[in-house]
């Protein structure tokens, strides 16, 4: 059955948090995994699965190398789509919007929370660019381990994050006989959300 109406039905962020909490209780690995789809200015799409690292009333935050393919796409075309799929719950959420950069303070705070090797990896990896051999990456990691032997590892200038500012949500719930339940939220000009349904 579709999820019962809640007092947060008019707020897609509240509904997202409800569904995410249920996913965290049921998904065995990375309930916060999401597919991020970007496109070049001429419309060539690209998608990859990454981890959601923050959500608030403004939007959804993820972090990456600013020299990666996704960042190159977003520099030229700020439109983005997110997809959360929770197989254990037979649910998915589609989100569309535009991105803005997170602040330096936000990026610094999240970077400092990462495991040491992950912080060093942000220095060692030329993300999305050709790699001749795995050994090259391991050697570069060793070089940065020697350069930063302690916990004081500055955030690389090419590493930061984006916040997706949504203008639409779709909450999809699997139903018997493929008669699925689809609830859509569309942002109005005044910032409020219009709520509706779609045929499955």
Cβ proximity of 128 and 69 under 8 Å: yes
| Count of C-beta atoms within a 10 Å radius of residue 108 | 14
CA distance linking residue 9 with residue 195, whole number of Å: 8
Q: What is the DSSP string of 80-123?
A: EEEEEEEGGGTEEEEEEEEEEEPPHHHHHHHHHHS-HHHHHHHH
How many alpha carbons lie under 13 Å from residue 174 in its C-beta half-sphere? 9
Which positions are annotated as active-site residues? 178
Phi, psi of 186 (to 5 degrees): -125, 130
Q: What is the CA radius of gyration of the chain?
A: 19
């Amino acid at each position: 059955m579709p999820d019962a109406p809640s007092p947060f039905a008019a707020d897609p962020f509240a509904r997202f948090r409800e569904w995410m909490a249920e996913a965290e209780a049921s998904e065995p690995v990375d309930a916060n995994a999401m597919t991020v789809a970007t496109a070049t200015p001429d419309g060539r799409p690209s998608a990859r699965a990454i981890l959601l690292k923050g959500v608030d009333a403004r939007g959804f935050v993820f972090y990456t190398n600013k020299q990666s393919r996704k960042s190159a796409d977003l520099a030229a075309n700020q439109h983005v789509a997110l997809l959360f799929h929770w197989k254990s719950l037979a649910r998915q959420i589609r989100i569309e919007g535009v991105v803005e950069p997170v602040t330096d303070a936000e990026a610094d705070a999240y970077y400092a929370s990462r495991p040491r090797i992950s912080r060093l990896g942000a220095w060692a990896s030329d993300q999305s660019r050709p790699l001749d051999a795995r050994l090259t990456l391991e050697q570069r990691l060793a070089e940065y381990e020697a350069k930063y032997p302690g916990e004081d590892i500055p955030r690389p200038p090419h590493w930061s994050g984006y916040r997706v500012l949504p203008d639409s949500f779709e909450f999809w719930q699997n139903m018997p006989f493929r008669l699925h339940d689809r609830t859509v939220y569309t942002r109005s000009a005044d910032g409020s959300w219009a709520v509706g349904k779609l045929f499955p």
